[in-house]
Homo-oligomer: A and B are copies of this chain.
Amino acid sequence: MSIGNEMYQLAKELFPIDRSLTGSGVRQTLSILRRELPDMAVHEVPSGTRAFDWTVPKEWAVRQAYIEDEHGSRIIDYKDLNLHVMGYSVPVDRWVDLDELKEYIYVQKGQPDAVPYVTSYYTPRYGFCMSERQRDSLPPGQYHMVIDSELFDGSLTYGELVIPGREDKEILISTYVCHPSMANNELSGPVLATALAKKVISQTDRKYTYRFLWIPETIGSITYLSRHLEHMKSHTIAGFVLSCVGDNRTYSYVPSRDGNTLADRAARNVLSFHYPEYICYSYLNRGSDERQYNAPGVDLPVCVVCRSKYGEYPEYHTSLDNMDFISPEGLQGMYDVYEAIFNTIEYNAFYRIKCLCEPQLGKRGMYPTVSKKDSYDTVKGMVDFIAYADGRRDLIDISNIIHVPAAHLIPIITKLKEADLLETVNE
C-alpha cells in the first residue's frame, strides 16, 4: 500500500471522533496516532494555566445534543454529525418556536447544502449548525433544543515527538488536532505529520533533530511556546505548519513574517521544481499556528506549505470538507514535497570546489571525451554546480541559480566529494 493510501486510511479512522480544543476527542486521536508512533509523548496542561496573554480553557464534553420537533423527531443530532453543535456550547434544554429557534442556528450563506463549522471558545454561548436548505424547510411549530454538555476544569492535551539527529539544531513540524469531522482542515495534517515522523525515524543518518507537535490550534501553540520558547528560539532552524495538506487541487505557500528564512528558502526551492504554478501567498494570508510562531518576540522561522489553503477553498470549515475532498494522491504529493524539503535542508551547506580553475573532469571519466556541439549539455548540471561552488552560495542558492533541483545535485555532491574536489565551508 502506498504511503498516500496509508495516510488516507488513517484519516478515515480518525474522521468520526468528536474533537475540540480539549477533551477526550483529542486524547482518543492521539492514542490512535501513538499506535503508529509509540515514542510520541502525550502531555496534559491543567485548565486555568496561564500561557502568555492567554489561559488554558476548561474541557468541554457533550453527552448528547439534538433538536427535536413537536412530534419528537430529531431534525439534527450531534451523533450523526458533530458539526451540528457550535463548539464549546454551554448546556441548554428549552422548547422554543421556529422564530426563536432560528436565532440559535448558523448556516453557510451561498452554500445551501453545507453545514458550517462554528465555535465560541471564549464567550459562553450555545448554538446549532445546519444546512441553509434544512433550516429554510423547517415548518412553524415548537422545537426542543437540547445540548447536554459540560464545561469543567480538566486539561489541554497535546502530542510531542522529538527525533534526535547528529546535531541539536531542530526542524519543527506542527499540526493540530482540535477540529471535529473535517478532512483537509484538519485530519490531513496529523496523518501527514505521522507519516513524515515515521520516515524520519527510518533514516538512521540524520543531521538535524526533528520536533513534531500535534496540538490544539492557537491555544495549543501558545501554551507550547510558553513552556519551550527559549529552547525553540535557540534551536529551530526551520519549521512548518501542516494544515490542509490532503486535497489534490494545487500547492500553496505562506511565507514566514521574515519571508526569507531557511524554511522559506527550502519551501520555495522545492515547490518551484515540483509544481511551478504553486500559489505564493503573503504573510497577510496567514491563519493557523504560524501566527504564533511568527509573532513579534517569538520570531521562529516557520512557514506553511500546503495544498488548497485554509480560507481559500469553498469546502473550508463546512461539512463538505470531508473524506471525498482529500485523496491518497493529494496526501502523497504533499508527503513527497516535505520529504524533498527535509532532504534539501539536510544537505544545505556552503560548498567550495577545491581546485583552482575548472577541474579536468575528462580524466576522471566525468566528461564527454569527444568535443562537439551539444557534448556539453549532458554534464551541464555538474559543471554549473562547480562554477557556483564558491563557498559563498549554499545548495539552495545554487539550485535556484542553475535551475537544477537539489535532489539532482545531491548525487553530484557525493561524487565530487569522493573525487576530493569539493568541501563544505562554514558560512
Contacts and interface: CB of A to CB of B under 8 A. Distances in A.
A295 B389 CA distance: 9
Contact of A225 (B52, B357, B387): B357
Interface stretch (A66-74, A196-204, A359-367): A359-367
Nearest to A293: B357
A123 B364 CA distance: 12
Contacts of A362: 122-123
Interface stretch (A29-37, A154-162, A283-291, A328-336): A283-291
Interface in A273-327: 283-284, 286-287, 291-292, 294-299, 311, 316-317
A95 interface: no
A70 B293 CA distance: 83
Q: How many copies of this chain does the complex contain?
A: 3
Contacts of A390: 257, 296-297, 299
A89 to B, nearest CB: 11
B53 A360 contact: yes
Given A116-B372, A373-B108, A384-B284, A52 B357 contact: yes
Contact of A369 (B52, B123, B371): B123
10 contacts: A53-B359, A116-B372, A122-B362, A123-B362, A222-B357, A226-B356, A283-B387, A295-B353, A297-B356, A297-B390
A356 B125 contact: no
A54 interface: yes
A388 interface: yes
Given A116-B373, A369-B122, A372-B116, A291 B384 contact: no
A234 interface: no
By Cβ-Cβ distance, the 4 closest A-B pairs, closest first, are A296-B390, A123-B369, A118-B372, A53-B355
A356 B229 contact: yes
A86 to B, nearest CB: 8
A391 B356 contact: no
Interface string A211-249: 000000010011001100100000000000000000000
A117 interface: yes
A204 to B, nearest CB: 33
